[in-house]
Structure 1
Amino acid sequence: MTVNHIDPTLLAGNRKPLANYQATHFLWEVKDKVGTITLNRPDRKNPLTFDSYAELRDLFHQLKWADDVKAIVVTGAGGNFCSGGDVHEIIGPLVALKAPELLMFTRMTGELVKNMRACPQPIVAAIDGVCAGAGAIVAMSSDLRYGTARSKTAFLFNRVGLAGCDMGACAILPRLIGQGRASELLYTGRSLGGEEGERWGFFNRLCEPEAVVNEAQKMAADLAAGPTFANGITKTMLHQEWAMTIEQAIEAEAQAQTICMLTEDFTRAYEAFVAKQKPVFQGN
């Protein structure tokens, strides 16, 4: 039996509309249930600050409860994606900190990646120009990556005297492009060009610079118009199955798919097929 009424007190604690969220340290816009984050410091190639790290971390956390945002696009203003942590506003202050405060910072940045992976919305990164350091991590942590031939992605931690194991890079990057290729990028910090990045599987596709954001938003809109509850399950299983055996993964997927078969979207798809129509999914 389908229950159409949900107790408002349950909704109040588990739904948090974000279409009207007012971002402080980047741009945020929602159109047709697609939220677009634009890193907006183009004069410095969109570096992150302590404030923008924290706000991004918190926004992705809140997206767990947002029923008015079904897919996300992340991009940068002015022909570049993100140049990483701001040299003057982050790197300089870090040099003077002791271990407890440094750990506070590295845990905060890692929490951003955790929240990107945990939010149910698919994330499409639109990457042009410089994509370095933490910017490369944000791109890596997205579900899909649209790039350009002129994009330059660099996990440059080694070049500033740090290890390549930053914000989950040693866990996630090898799963995207393979252990050997990830090792090369993390040991050397060299830039990965757009065409090479597409060949290696880092980019899902390359676009013209003037079209990359629109193409990413089109993909996000298609995902937002799909069976979004099921998309969230797919994202969860893609992430969780990294730590499972094949047998565990098959059982977990059997249970997950059973849940999806109970959704109204599954019934809608069947009824549309019988009627020779395109299903109109509603995410429930």
Structure 2
Amino acid sequence: MNPHLSSGNRQSLAGYAPQHFLWQQQGAVGLVTLNRPERKNPLTFESYAELRDLFRRLSYVDEVKAIVIQGAGGNFCSGGDVHEIIGPLTAMSMPDLLAFTRMTGDLVKAMRACPQPIVAAIDGVCAGAGAIMAMASDLRVGTARSKTAFLFTRVGLAGCDMGACALLPRIVGQGRASDLLYSGRSLGGEEGHGWGWLNRLVEPEQLLPEAMAWAGEIAAGPSFAHAMTKRMLHQEWAMGVDEAIEAEAQAQAICMMTQDFHRAYEAFAARQKPVFQGD
């Protein structure tokens, strides 16, 4: 980026140390670990907000080109903490409740808006808001023992939480999404793989290596173009076919102006593998 534009538009995560989850950076891949294994990694008011802020910040970070999100201790995430979130919600006023539900929705918005593709590594329990975070990711790797459940109806709430009624049908189809959102039942790993909920199914010991390797492959690609693909996948839900074709024509023309496009051509002509740099 031009140095005149860098101030306020580019940030570094060097030294970043969140309080409510773990963060590691391995090369160009950032790893988020939900780290309350004794409770199956539930979310709290504070972790919702801190995750939202991280994914918002990632829009301004160049050195991270893909994200993996996992849970510690053999489970992904059990959703909102019953004692630290659900209990307090029962005593809140409507304005406070709306502030909370908007905050949780902002986490999904931030995940969809950040340019880095997100790979969710799903093992064990993946429930409630945890299932939503997996849903908001771009790709999902899971195990046969994973159990995904959109539990909202089990606690007397609607299945339309954090964008579930918009996002989930686009992943598994309207009928299957209706099944999960009305029943709150668990979707096992093998069934989820068959439905297209999980992109890949692996053994538990291979889960994180597979997710990191996949994210690494993505990170080694043309990151500007990957960000454009992610943006188009999201924006085109609300477009007609003609609008989408025109939007993609403009997006592809922009990508043709990148140095990565020229690097790919030059590498092809020289019978070499291109080394993408994201510009």
Q: Shorter chain as normaliser: what TM range?
A: over 0.9
Hey, what does 1:146 align to over in structure 2? 141
Code of the residue aligned with 1:164 in structure 2: it is G
Q: What is the CA-CA distance between 1:53 and the residue it aligns to?
A: 0.2
Q: Aligned pair 1:80/2:75, yes or no? A: yes
Query: What's the TM-score, normalizing by structure 1?
Result: 0.97
Is the contact made by 1:19 and 1:35 (CA closer than 8 Å) also made in structure 2?
no
**In structure 1, how many angstroms separate the alpha carbons of the residues matched to 2:85 and 2:129?**
12
Q: Which runs of 5+ in 2 are unaligned?
A: none
- SS of 1:210's partner is helix
Counterpart of 1:188 in structure 2 is 183
Distance 2:14 2:138 in 1: 21
Match for 2:169: what amino acid?
P
Q: How far apart, in 2, do the equivalents of 1:190 and 1:234 lie?
A: 32
Paired position in structure 1 for 2:196? 201
Correspondence for 1:166: 161
Residue 95 of structure 2 corresponds to 100
Q: Which residue does 2:241 correspond to in 1?
A: 246
For 1:56, the equivalent position in structure 2 comes to: 51
CA–CA distance in structure 2, aligned partners of residues 250 and 12 of structure 1: 34
Secondary structure of the 2:51 match is helix
SS at match of 2:272: coil
Shift of residue 12, structure 1, vs aligned partner: 1.5
**Which residue does the alignment assign to 2:205?**
210
Q: How far, CA to CA, are the matches of 2:143 and 2:32 in structure 1?
A: 18
Deviation string, structure 1 residues 209-252 (Cα, Å, up to 9, x no partner): 11101100000011111000000000000000000000000000
Cα drift, residue 19 of structure 1 = 3.9
Which residue of the other structure, out of 227, 244, 268, is the alignment partner of 1:232? 227
1:275 to 250, 264, 270: 270
In 2: Cα distance, 1:275 partner to 1:22 partner = 43
Deviations 1:148-176 (A, max 9, x none): 00000000100010000000000000000
**SS at the partner of 1:202?**
coil
Tell me, yes or no, if the aligned pair for 1:19 and 1:29 is still in contact at 8 Å.
Answer: no
| Alpha-carbon contact 1:73-1:217 (below 8 Å) kept | yes
Name the CA distance, whole Å, in 2 between partners of 1:222 and 1:205. Answer: 15
Q: Which residue of 1 aligns with 2:172?
A: 177
TM-score, length of structure 2 as denominator length: 0.99
Render the CA deviation track for 1:56-86: whole Å, top value 9, x for unaligned.
0000000000011100000000000000000
1:134 to 129, 133, 150: 129
Q: Paired residue for 1:120?
A: 115
Distance 2:67 2:167 in 1: 19
Question: Per-residue displacement from partner, 1:98-142 (whole Å, max 9, x unpaired)?
Answer: 100000000000000000000000000000000000000000000
SS in 2 for 1:78: coil
Is residue 5 of structure 2 the alignment partner of residue 10 of structure 1? yes
- Whether the 8 Å CA contact 1:268–1:281 is kept in 2: the answer is yes
**Which 4+ residue blocks in structure 1 deviate beyond 4 angstroms?**
none
Assess if the C-alpha contact under 8 Å between 1:47 and 1:86 holds in 2: yes
Structure 1 residues not aligned, in runs of 5+: none
Shift of 1:277: 0.3
**Alignment partners' CA distance in 2, 1:19 and 1:221:** 19
Paired position in structure 1 for 2:151: 156
Secondary structure of the 1:211 match is helix
Q: Give identity over the alignment, percent.
A: 72
Q: How far, CA to CA, are the matches of 1:218 and 1:226 in structure 2?
A: 13
